[in-house]
A and B are shown apart, each in its own frame.
Chain A
Amino acid sequence: MAVVFDTDSSGAWNEMFSAPGQARLIYQRLLADLDAQSVTELSQRADQLARTFIDRGVTFAHSGEERPFPLDIVPRIIGALEWDRLSRGIAQRVRALEAFLADVYGPGRIFTDGVIPRRVVTSSPHFCRQAIGITPANGVRIAVAGIDVIRDEHGNFCVLEDNIRIPSGVSYVIENRRAMTQTFAPLFSNHRVLPVDSYPSKLLAALVASAPPKAKNPVVVVLSPGVHNAAYFEHVLLARMMGVELVEGRDLVCRANHVYMRTTTGERAVHVIYRRVDDDWLDPLQFRPNSVIGVAGLVNAARAGNVAISNGLGNGVADDKLVYTYVPDFIRYYLGETPLLDNIATFRLEDADVCAEVVANLADYVIKPVDGSGGKGIVIGPQATDEELRDVEAAIAENPRNWIAQRPVALSTHPTFVDDRISPRHIDLRPFAVSNGNEVWVLPGGLTRVALGEGELIVNSSRGGGSKDTWVLSEDVPVAPPVSAPTLSPALLGAPQQNDEFINQDEEQQ
């Protein structure tokens, strides 16, 4: 029995359909395959997916409880040509951010050249004065970046947010692919999908490349805050797949600027620390003295060139939402190139004129705090109550530098299997980029996050979202074109969706 497809009639770009009933070329085969399944079969596969996750312990801590991160059975597909453009844009952005960090924690040319005011950087709480004088051995401060992109109403990818401190979510990408190949194998035989399992070896190679040159056989560790951390599952997975030790702060000790790991054979030197602990908690001598998850003396050991901290200290100064507005300028300034990916049009409220205009029309904008994360503090003007608008107006008046405003953008939608129907839901994409000092490699696909509630905009896991397996095809057409392009009879078209036009939010733990 054919599955009922709903199509969307709001202005949002539909990933699968170019027009009602008309599927895009790269989706035609998938559509045919799904069409051939009954609701029961799809439900069963969905249940099986959920079970494999529970068994493997793929969870995310949500309100203190460990819950599986729902994987939708309908994969998201990106064609080869489009991926080529997108991945080059991601790599370009990472290169510019890398140059910016080297400059900000170095000569500071960009300030004297007037491209960005110095105070934007120095007043950021993530500006780390201890990072001055710490030069990574291979020049890389952003070993892993998660650049969140969305597709606007015109089908163009634009950057929503840069995450270059501790971007997380790649474990879901790996587990999603594993689960899909196990429970929905037939889909893969009709598509040539680029694999994602090279990520851990690429990451390991990049980490090894960042080791102090004098270390002949560099020892790499993953530093985790421990079992209570929301992303602990990811720390375990990456450590296991890279074949390196997973340590906590108390397993490491610093002596005379060298870092050692406490093992059964005594203390073993450590050369590279892939740290999943925030700057603030990393070294009680330099930052919060009450941190029990850090390593005392670590920063000076890095300064002395005896250990590499990856990602680097103070990266947060470049993924601040205010600095985000300058990133296209960085691309032009440092790389001499035109940005391949645009930002979403963003307004800085520290500019008095801009602020006045926005405040006069608060209900038309999405207002975001510069230092928020996980979707907290964001006010979606068109949906907000009068009280919420008044509160945010007061907060803006108190500290305008802490706020930016964006025009609402319609996130693209993708058919998603919910409540025994396949209906459009808003999605975004987090591609992951790994830098080894010579090149920036982008993992094919990335994490597509989906807002499971109808019309909902908030897609991150800490707010109850789900994800999709993301396929990058090695060629732009599926392997076996369908016999005839399926069309849908009007009777099967679902009711138009709510007017859902807004922006999705950021991941809590980045």
Chain B
Amino acid sequence: MLSRLAESLFWIGRYIERADDTSRIVDSYVHRIVEDPFNNEDATCRSLYAILGVPQPEHELLRNEMLQTIVYDEKSPNSIAGALDGAFENARRSRDFISSEMWVALNTTRNELRSRQRVAAGLGPATYLAYVRERCALLAGLTDATLSHDDGWQFLLLGRNLERIDMTTRLLRGRIAYMDASPDWMAFLRASGAMEAFMRSSHQLNDPNGVATFLMLNRTFPRSVLYALNVVDAALREVQSSNQLFDSGDAARETLAHARSTLEYVDEEELLTQLPALLEMLERTCYRINDAVTDKYFRHEEAILWISENQL
């Protein structure tokens, strides 16, 4: 398929997932600020910035500014509105490929968000964030149901799961780094959408090791890092075989294989102590896979503005 199209679908997957995950995280953090009277608002907001990779401001950081930056700012790819805008722009460029239902859903979401933002200014972000999660679920469902599961869909799946790994990794790093400033483990699980699944597994609540193990290593929960890595691997394999590029190696799959085996052979008892190193490794893995896939499949030019020249 067209490189430019593949890249657009990849980013639609990433951006929608980003919006979804960010809204969960912000929701739990905002709850913490509101529910806990002893909470240090500035520290909590800063920990959130750290997770999402937003530069820390010099001045005191309060809730409203944090929400504007991370939720409502349409121009920033780190914010929820910005991520959905990015998905929309990419959908526009791949309109010949995505289904009309997806297009309509994205279009409607974008328009709705703007009016909901005005409401949220007065009533707080909870319903805005809930709407985001609902729409992301709808979009994910539409992509899975209305796109043929061929190359295009594989790239979208790739993007979605790569972003998921990235976000889960960031979340865990934030939890460790800002232990006091971040929500407790229960809220943390909720933020990851993992609460009920965790409870049904054999792990105990308030067992940090158990939570970390669940989120990193569980083989059946779709938001776990290992699960997502397997999905990414399967997608890469599909794409490679259908595109039959006769490369000697596949940088993305190699990086991924290394990450997978590292995780598979981790001693669960030791997980917490090894966590910082593992998370760093995972973050690097995500960058590498992104670059390798871009390099291999998305090589295309932006429209060139030619310079003309004349000589005697």
Q: Which residues of A contact B (CB under 8 A)?
A: 55-57, 226-227, 232, 235-236, 239-240, 245-251, 253, 261-266, 284, 289-293, 296
Q: Which of A226, A253, A262 has the most CB of B within 10 A?
A: A262
Contact at A251–B3, with CB atoms within 8 Å?
Answer: yes
Shortest B233–chain A CB gap in Å is: 18
Shortest A200–chain B CB gap in Å is: 14
Contact at B243–A265, with CB atoms within 8 Å?
Answer: yes
Chain B residues within an 8 Å CB radius of A290: 305-306
Contact at B304–A250, with CB atoms within 8 Å?
Answer: yes
Contact at B2–A263, with CB atoms within 8 Å?
Answer: yes
- The A-contacting residues of B in range 206-253, CB under 8 angstroms, are 239, 243-245
Contact at A266–B245, with CB atoms within 8 Å?
Answer: yes
Contact at A263–B303, with CB atoms within 8 Å?
Answer: no
Shortest A250–chain B CB gap in Å is: 4
Contact at A292–B303, with CB atoms within 8 Å?
Answer: yes
Contact at B4–A262, with CB atoms within 8 Å?
Answer: yes
With an 8 A cutoff between CB atoms, is B284 at the interface?
no
User: What is the chain B residue whose CB lies nearest that of A249?
Assistant: B303
In the complex, which of the residues A236, A262, A266 contacts B95, with contact meaning CB atoms closer than 8 Å?
A236
Chain A residues within an 8 Å CB radius of B239: 264
Chain A residues within an 8 Å CB radius of B3: 251, 262-264
Supply 20 further A-B pairs (C-beta < 8 A) apart from A232-B95, A264-B6, A292-B304: A57-B103, A227-B92, A227-B95, A236-B96, A240-B96, A245-B1, A247-B2, A248-B4, A249-B303, A250-B300, A250-B304, A253-B301, A261-B2, A262-B2, A263-B1, A264-B2, A284-B306, A284-B308, A290-B306, A292-B303
Contact at B245–A265, with CB atoms within 8 Å?
Answer: yes
Chain A residues within an 8 Å CB radius of B307: 289
- The A-contacting residues of B in range 274-301, CB under 8 angstroms, are 297-301
User: What is the chain A residue whose CB lies nearest that of B103?
Assistant: A57
* Interchain CA distance A291-B305 in the complex, whole Å: 7
* Interchain CA distance A56-B99 in the complex, whole Å: 10
With an 8 A cutoff between CB atoms, is B42 at the interface?
no
Contact at A57–B2, with CB atoms within 8 Å?
Answer: no
Shortest B106–chain A CB gap in Å is: 11
The A/B interface has a contact count, at CB < 8 Å, of: 72
Chain B residues within an 8 Å CB radius of A239: 96
Contact at B302–A250, with CB atoms within 8 Å?
Answer: yes
Q: Which of B298, B301, B303 has the most CB of A within 10 A?
A: B303
Chain A residues within an 8 Å CB radius of B2: 245, 247, 251, 261-264
On whether A250 and B1 interact (CB within 8 A), knowing A227-B95, A236-B95, A265-B243, the answer reads no
Contact at A56–B100, with CB atoms within 8 Å?
Answer: yes
In the complex, which of the residues A55, A235, A250 contacts B303, with contact meaning CB atoms closer than 8 Å?
A250
Chain A residues within an 8 Å CB radius of B306: 284, 289-291, 296
Chain B residues within an 8 Å CB radius of A226: 93
* Interchain CA distance A296-B305 in the complex, whole Å: 11
Contact at B304–A265, with CB atoms within 8 Å?
Answer: no
Chain A residues within an 8 Å CB radius of B304: 250, 292, 296
* Interchain CA distance A264-B3 in the complex, whole Å: 5
Chain B residues within an 8 Å CB radius of A266: 245
* Interchain CA distance A226-B4 in the complex, whole Å: 12
* Interchain CA distance A199-B299 in the complex, whole Å: 34
* Interchain CA distance A251-B244 in the complex, whole Å: 20
Shortest B13–chain A CB gap in Å is: 15
Chain B residues within an 8 Å CB radius of A251: 2-4, 300
Shortest A242–chain B CB gap in Å is: 11
* Interchain CA distance A401-B195 in the complex, whole Å: 78
With an 8 A cutoff between CB atoms, is B151 at the interface?
yes
Chain B residues within an 8 Å CB radius of A262: 2-4, 299-301
User: What is the chain B residue whose CB lies nearest that of A250?
Assistant: B303
User: What is the chain B residue whose CB lies nearest that of A236?
Assistant: B96
Shortest A498–chain B CB gap in Å is: 40
Shortest A273–chain B CB gap in Å is: 14
* Interchain CA distance A336-B249 in the complex, whole Å: 66
Shortest B16–chain A CB gap in Å is: 19
* Interchain CA distance A57-B299 in the complex, whole Å: 30
Shortest B6–chain A CB gap in Å is: 5
With an 8 A cutoff between CB atoms, is B145 at the interface?
no
With an 8 A cutoff between CB atoms, is B312 at the interface?
no
With an 8 A cutoff between CB atoms, is B123 at the interface?
no
* Interchain CA distance A347-B194 in the complex, whole Å: 78
Chain B residues within an 8 Å CB radius of A248: 4, 303
- The A-contacting residues of B in range 67-101, CB under 8 angstroms, are 92-93, 95-96, 100
* Interchain CA distance A236-B97 in the complex, whole Å: 9
Chain A residues within an 8 Å CB radius of B308: 284, 289
Contact at A57–B100, with CB atoms within 8 Å?
Answer: yes
Chain B residues within an 8 Å CB radius of A265: 243-245
* Interchain CA distance A251-B306 in the complex, whole Å: 15
User: What is the chain B residue whose CB lies nearest that of A285?
Assistant: B306
In the complex, which of the residues B4, B244, B245 contacts A250, with contact meaning CB atoms closer than 8 Å?
B4
User: What is the chain B residue whose CB lies nearest that of A291?
Assistant: B306
Chain A residues within an 8 Å CB radius of B299: 262
Shortest B10–chain A CB gap in Å is: 11
* Interchain CA distance A246-B2 in the complex, whole Å: 9
* Interchain CA distance A265-B303 in the complex, whole Å: 20
Chain B residues within an 8 Å CB radius of A247: 2
* Interchain CA distance A249-B300 in the complex, whole Å: 11
- The A-contacting residues of B in range 161-215, CB under 8 angstroms, are none
On whether A227 and B93 interact (CB within 8 A), knowing A264-B239, A265-B243, the answer reads yes
Q: Which of B103, B305, B306 has the most CB of A within 10 A?
A: B306
